[in-house]
């Protein structure tokens, strides 16, 4: 992660971007939450990932694989998920390196607002 760019891909340093969400600030959009969750995978913040996972589908733990390095995120499409919505989707492609081999995964994630907070609700 460059000092000038957050791992989520926005041209903002981590402390002023996803870092502030990891420290407790609430995401204002579903896309912002998705970006911060990608970054949490990248920095190994399992506590944040669990805290932002909807209780109905939240696992007891995640068990992050330290051999996988998350390197780049592409947001491909969003629906809803703005400050005026209560749900939305974010389709993205996440790039990683697993034991020296590059890979990618694509997902269309669903997000819902619970008591004003965006939460990851699984695949759409």
Q: What is the pLDDT of residues 38-83, one digit of tens each?
A: 999 999 999 999 999 999 999 999 999 999 999 999 999 999 999 9
The first and second tokens of residue 42, run together, are 């990248």
The first and second tokens of residue 57, run together, are 């589908």
Residue 7 lies in a domain: no
The number of folded domains in the chain is 1
Over residues 3-17, mean pLDDT: 91
Burial of residue 71 (CB within 10 Å: 0-12, 13-18, 19+) is middle
Residue 104 lies in a domain: yes
Report which of 62, 65, 67, 64 is spatially closest to residue 52, judged by C-alpha positions: 62
Q: Looking at residue 106, which CATH number applies to its domain?
A: 3.10.450.50
Instruction: Report pLDDT for 2.
Output: 53
CA distance 1 to 58: 28
**Which structural domain range is residue 108 located in?**
14-123
Residue 113 lies in a domain: yes
For residue 54, what are the CA distances in angstroms to 50, 59, 110? 8, 10, 10
Instruction: Report pLDDT for 5.
Output: 87
């Amino acid at each position: 992660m460059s000092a000038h760019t957050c791992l989520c891909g926005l041209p903002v340093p981590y402390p002023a971007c996803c870092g502030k969400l990891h420290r407790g600030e609430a995401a204002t959009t579903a896309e912002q939450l998705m970006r911060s969750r990608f970054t949490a995978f990248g920095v190994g913040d399992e506590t944040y990932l669990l805290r932002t996972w909807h209780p109905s589908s939240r696992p007891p733990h995640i068990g992050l694989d330290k051999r996988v390095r998350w390197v780049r995120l592409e947001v491909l499409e969003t629906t809803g998920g703005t400050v005026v919505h209560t749900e939305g989707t974010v389709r993205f492609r996440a790039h990683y390196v697993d034991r020296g081999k590059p890979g990618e995964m694509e997902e269309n994630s669903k997000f819902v607002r619970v008591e004003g907070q965006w939460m990851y609700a699984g695949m759409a």
